[in-house]
Every structure is written in structure tokens, then in C-alpha cells.
Structure 1
Amino acid sequence: MKLSGTRKIAAALGLAALTAAGPASAATTWLMASGYPEDNFHTKNIRMFIEEVEEKSGGELTIDLQPNDSLIKLDSIKRAIQSGQIPIGELRLGVYGNEDPMYILAGLPFVAPTYATAWDLKDAQKPYFDKLFGDAGMKVLYYTPWPGQGFYTKFPIEEASDLEGVKLRIYSTSTQEMGELLGFQATILPFAEIPQAFSTGLIEALFTSPQTGIDIQAWDNTDHFTDAGAIYTKNAVVVSSAAFDALDEATQKVVLDAAVAAEKRGWEMSEATNKEQQGILADNGMTVSQAPDWLIEKMKTIGGKMLVTWKESASPEAIEAVTPYFQAQGLE
């Protein structure tokens, strides 16, 4: 019998109580929430992670993934893990900028504008995030980047005045600031609300990845994708420390080894699918083009100003963690 979302969460609460009581002595099932559909590469990568865990643990740990906001809405997954509703989930880090500025650093334009620099920034941020999540009773298993970002519009972007007053959906406080500095009316909306926001006129354009454009069939509401690259934000798969600690050492090692493999694979999948996904946009009637030089330069200038503001708001510990990265990239 298929459990309802409420009953699944109730079952997870029972699991949380069990795992907090002591080490697992029998096969364990984790209920997992994520916000994206099955054909999203993030979800595909999670499925492969789950398969490896189940196979190499000999069935000692199974993970029941509920994708596409079907169990818990994406922006609520972090709280659900922290409160013990579920033991594991996928987060989009950029939505938590109001909690700590480190969450939005990767979302500043041209702070880490390639996969290589995004990987280096991830490594620099990792010890800080390990402590941040650890203090909240959670453990990050792995990170996966979104492809570079672009603008979905009904018109070609040819000059700065084209952007003035256009209602743009973005996904974080940093991209909201960027959008407003470019002249847009920028609004933060969850992924699942995009189609309805278009139908009601709340938004007219998007700034997001090719993957998200495909997930919500952006060609139904826009005609142009202008690729700017510039930003490679990250998702993270996070587990409750109580649930992880309740596993025996052998199963813990299986999970950690599978996470290492999933992180490497996820970065490769993101990069490999980027061009393919732009082709899918074109196949569905969209005009795909590179951002004009004036827009790139303006975004770089905005990114520099936003980084100054970020440094003013970040804690000394956060700044210390990423200073070596800033120095290597000439961002001091």
C-alpha cells in the first residue's frame, strides 16, 4: 500500500526516534525528499547514489526517494531534516542566504564563473559548511553544481533598456540583487510556482539554468535563452547526524564512499548536459544565444560590488575560510 506524504513523514519521525536511541541493529530505511523531477540530472544522480548504497551495504540501508516536491517542498527540506521529520534530503544552498552569507557566495556573478573555479570554491567552503551543518545536527554528504545561468525572455536582449522593469523570477537573495541592479523587477519564487506565476503575470522572465528551463518547459512562456554562464550554484545532499551515527561503521563507509562518487559524477553530469540542454531548448523553438559583451561586463561589475557587500556582511570565520580562494582568483 502506498503511503501518503503525511504518513511517510510520520514513519520518518518514528525512524528518527529509533536512530537517536542507539546504533541500528537491523536493516534501515531512510525516507528522502528532493524538489526536482525524475529527468533532472540531480535526481538521476541521487538515484545512482541510492543504488550504490543499497547494493554495497547488502541491503542494510535503503533510501526511499520522493522527488519533485512530492513529500516536502524544496525550501522546507532543510528544516525537515534538522527537526527530525526526515533523515535525508537534497537542498538548494542559495535559498538560505538569510541564515548565513556563505550560502549565497557561489551565487554572486563571476565570483566562480567556471566549473573549475566553482569546484575550488566548493573545496574552500567545505570546512565552514561542515561546521555550520554539524552544529545544527546535520552532515553534508556531497555537492552538485547547477549549469551556468542565463536569461529566459520573450524578446532578444540587445541593449540595457530591454531589461528595464521586466518582471524576473530569480531563486536567491543574491540573484535578486543582481537582477535589480540590471534593471529588472526581481522576485524570488520557488521552482514549483514558476508556471503559475507566468500564467498570472507575476513574472515575465527567468534567470536560471537550462536544466530548470527544461523542467518547467520555459518555451511555453518565453522565446529566447541568453546564456551568461557567470554563476554555478550548488545543491547539497544532507543527512541527519543522528540517522548517520546510528548506522554501523561499515554502512557509514558505504554511504561516504558513494557520496564521493556521486559528487564527482554530479559535476561531470552537470557539465556534459549543459550543451545538450541548450540544444533541447532550441529544439523546442527557443532562440539560444550568448550574452552580449556589454551584459557580461555589467554583470562582472555588479558581481564585484556584491562581493564587497558580501565581505561586509560575512563573519570573520567565513571570510577566513574563503580568503585563500579569493587570493588565488585575484578577488582581493
Structure 2
Amino acid sequence: MKLTALISTVAAFGLAAALPAVAGTWDLSSEYPVGSLQGQTADFFAKAVTEKTDGAIEVTVHHGAALGYKSVDHFDAVGDGALQAASSAFVFWTGIDPIFQLSSLPFLAPTSQDVHDLYMLAKPEYEKVLEDNNQILLLATPWPSSGLWGNKPFTSVADLDGVKVRTYDVASTETMKNAGAFPIQISWADVPAQLSTNAIDAVLTSPNGGVGVQMWEQQSDFTNVNYASSLQGIHVNRDAWEDLTPDQKAAVKEAATEAEALGWDLLSDATAQDFDTMRDNGMTVTAEISPQFSADLTAAAQPFIDDWITATGARAQTIMEAYSAR
């Protein structure tokens, strides 16, 4: 009897050893719509992880702040383990570490290649901040460059005079203020409600972000000022990461690499497609602004950029020098 029990135990142990380790389910929070570029990237990542780990890890993406978390909340929620993972806009982490301001500095990286070059130069710094806070950065992808949604076209700084513009960080707030607008800093999840109550007149965000919430229902115009193409990262709790086997970690990294490539590829056609969608829904799109308006906006942004470089110190200086020397 004892021998039978021993054989059964050994057999069960052997069977368990032959099966893949089950890491369970990761909840991945995002405050953006499922149809946005970041929503598509998160869903691709989730599906790829499940496939590459043979179902050992299932990632459930919760779009539209469905779990009650916004990007600004994700940093602590993932670090503390309240969430296993999240997709977060770096622009809302500038109060945590100023390095996260880099990708949203106004008019610094006008092309997608510039945005990617800047990301690669700064990536080690992003990774270090997250590692110091019990997290792993898996990937980062860009938003299309921000523009101004409103009920009129914006063709000069005079058109901004006194306009209540939704901004999303200190840089955009200072830039819009210097340009003559009345900036109000608001999280993305709160924008539709603020528009519906006329608390704001215009919104600084990407074409893709506005299309994702059908902003043509409340705004008639979009002006492409090519403000900044800021980054969004998918990050995971370090303890959840350490629970994975080496093979599972490799599979998740492979999924992240593929999702990151997708996110950057989506950028190339996204703006043109979003402009078409806006026009199909009755919006007027101003695809380019005058050189004078561009110069005025750049001048409005420069004081903040100078202050950011000084405040961020050697890290900023090193990145900016390498970026200029490409």
C-alpha cells in the first residue's frame, strides 16, 4: 500500500514536471479606446503572449479606464502589484521623473524617424526608472503628433487668444499659455465630459485619440500643428515577471518586440487614415499651418524646453547632445 502510494506520488510529480508552468492571468489597464493605436498594440501584445506561452499566461486588456485607473495611476498600481501590467502614456509620469517629459517636448521631433531616434537614446533611462520602482518596461510606441481639436480652425496665435484648451502636461500647459490660450490640464478619460459641459473649448491631442472617441460629435475642426508625438509604454510588475520561467520570459519579450514593431508601423498611415475618417464625419481638417504660426508656437515652447534641460541635468544633456549629433 505504501509502495503504491509512493509510485502514485512519483508519477504525479513526473506528470506535473512535464506540464508547462501556469503563470495565470495578467490584467493590463489602459485608459484609451480599443480602436486607438495604443489599444490595437495592447491587444496584439496580449494575444501574442497567450499564443507564445501556449496559454500559460493570459493577458486581459481593460480599455477605456475600465478598471478605474488612468495613466498617472498606473505607475504606482503596477509597482505595488495592484495591476500586473498597464499601457501608460509617459506624458502623465513627468511628476514622477522628468525624463518622461522627453517625448512630449513640443516641436522637438518632427518626423517619425526623429521620434524613434529619441526613444532609442532615452530607452535606458526609462528602463532604469521603472526598474527602480519594481517594474519592467516591455515596449514603447508613439502616438501620432498632437494637434488642436476645436469648433474653428486655428491659423495663428490670435486664434488661440482666450480659448480654453485642454492640455495634458506642464509643457503643453506652458506652451499654450505663452501662445495666448487659457490652458486647462485634464486627463484623457475626463475630456468628453469636460467638452459636454463647455468647461473647455478645444483639445490638444492626436488625431487618433480624437477619432477613437468620435470627437466630431462635439468638435467641428482639427488643426494639425504637429505638436509632439509622445510615447506610451507597456510595463509589468517585477514580481509577476519573476514568477515566469525563463522560457516564458523569452516568449513575453518576443511578443513585446513584435507588438512594438506593430505600434511603430501603425504610425506611418494612421494620420492620413484619421484625417479621412474626420472628413467622412463632416469635420474640417487643416493639414498644415503657416510657417509663421509654426514659428510662433515653437517660440512659445522654447522657455519650457530650456528649463526642462536644466532641471533634468546630465541625463537630458547627454540625450540631447546625442540626438543633435545623429
Q: Is the 8 A contact 2:22 2:57 kept in 1?
A: no
Task: Measure, in 1, the Cα distance between the counterparts of 2:83 and 2:269.
Answer: 32
Post-superposition offset of 1:30: 1.0
Q: Is the 8 A contact 1:114 1:230 kept in 2?
A: no
Amino acid of the residue matched to residue 66 of structure 1? H
1:319 matches 2:317? yes
SS at structure 1 position matched to 2:225: strand
Aligned to 1:258: 255
Q: Is the 8 A contact 2:103 2:231 kept in 1?
A: yes
Amino acid of the residue matched to residue 163 of structure 2? V
Q: How does 1:173-188 map to 2 (within 5 A)?
A: 173-188=170-185
Task: Measure, in 1, the Cα distance between the counterparts of 2:324 and 2:76.
Answer: 31
- Of 258-267 and 304-313, deviating more is 304-313
Task: Measure, in 1, the Cα distance between the counterparts of 2:246 and 2:166.
Answer: 44
Task: Measure, in 2, the Cα distance between the counterparts of 1:158 and 1:135.
Answer: 44
Aligned to 2:17: none
Amino acid of the residue matched to residue 139 of structure 1? I
Aligned to 1:9: none
Q: Decide whether aligned partners of structure 1 residues 308 and 39 sit closer, same or farther in structure 2, where only a CA change above 3 A counts.
A: same
Q: Is the 8 A contact 1:112 1:230 kept in 2?
A: no
Amino acid of the residue matched to residue 305 of structure 2? L
Task: Measure, in 2, the Cα distance between the counterparts of 1:194 and 1:111.
Answer: 26
Task: Measure, in 2, the Cα distance between the counterparts of 1:212 and 1:63.
Answer: 23
Amino acid of the residue matched to residue 183 of structure 1? G
| Aligned equivalent of 1:303, options 264, 285, 301 | 301
Stretches of structure 1 lacking an aligned partner (at least 5 in a row): 1-23
Q: Is the 8 A contact 1:111 1:303 kept in 2?
A: no
Amino acid of the residue matched to residue 213 of structure 2? I
Aligned to 1:5: none
Task: Measure, in 2, the Cα distance between the counterparts of 1:257 and 1:157.
Answer: 43
| Aligned equivalent of 1:234, options 227, 231, 235 | 231
**Deviation by residue 1:145-169 (Cα, 9 ceiling, x = unmatched):** 0001111121222332211110000
Aligned to 2:52: 56
Post-superposition offset of 1:204: 0.2
Using the size of structure 1 for normalisation, the TM-score is: 0.88
Q: How does 1:159-174 map to 2 (within 5 A)?
A: 159-174=156-171
Q: Is the 8 A contact 2:79 2:238 kept in 1?
A: no
Aligned to 1:35: 31
Task: Measure, in 2, the Cα distance between the counterparts of 1:230 and 1:151.
Answer: 9
Aligned to 1:136: 133
- Of 98-107 and 314-323, deviating more is 314-323
Aligned to 1:219: 216
Q: Number of aligned residue pairs: give it.
A: 305
* Bigger CA radius of gyration: 2
Task: Measure, in 1, the Cα distance between the counterparts of 2:53 and 2:67.
Answer: 25
Q: Is the 8 A contact 2:278 2:285 kept in 1?
A: yes
Post-superposition offset of 1:217: 2.1
Amino acid of the residue matched to residue 310 of structure 1? W
Amino acid of the residue matched to residue 172 of structure 1? D
Aligned to 1:100: 97
Post-superposition offset of 1:170: 1.3
| Aligned equivalent of 1:88, options 85, 89, 92 | 85
Task: Measure, in 2, the Cα distance between the counterparts of 1:115 and 1:163.
Answer: 27
Post-superposition offset of 1:279: 0.9
Aligned to 2:149: 152
Amino acid of the residue matched to residue 260 of structure 1? T
Stretches of structure 2 lacking an aligned partner (at least 5 in a row): 1-19
**Deviation by residue 1:197-220 (Cα, 9 ceiling, x = unmatched):** 112221000111111111232222
| Aligned equivalent of 2:283, options 267, 277, 286 | 286
RMSD between aligned residues: 1.5
Post-superposition offset of 1:322: 4.1
Q: Is the 8 A contact 1:87 1:240 kept in 2?
A: yes
Post-superposition offset of 1:190: 1.2
Aligned to 1:272: 269
Post-superposition offset of 1:128: 0.7
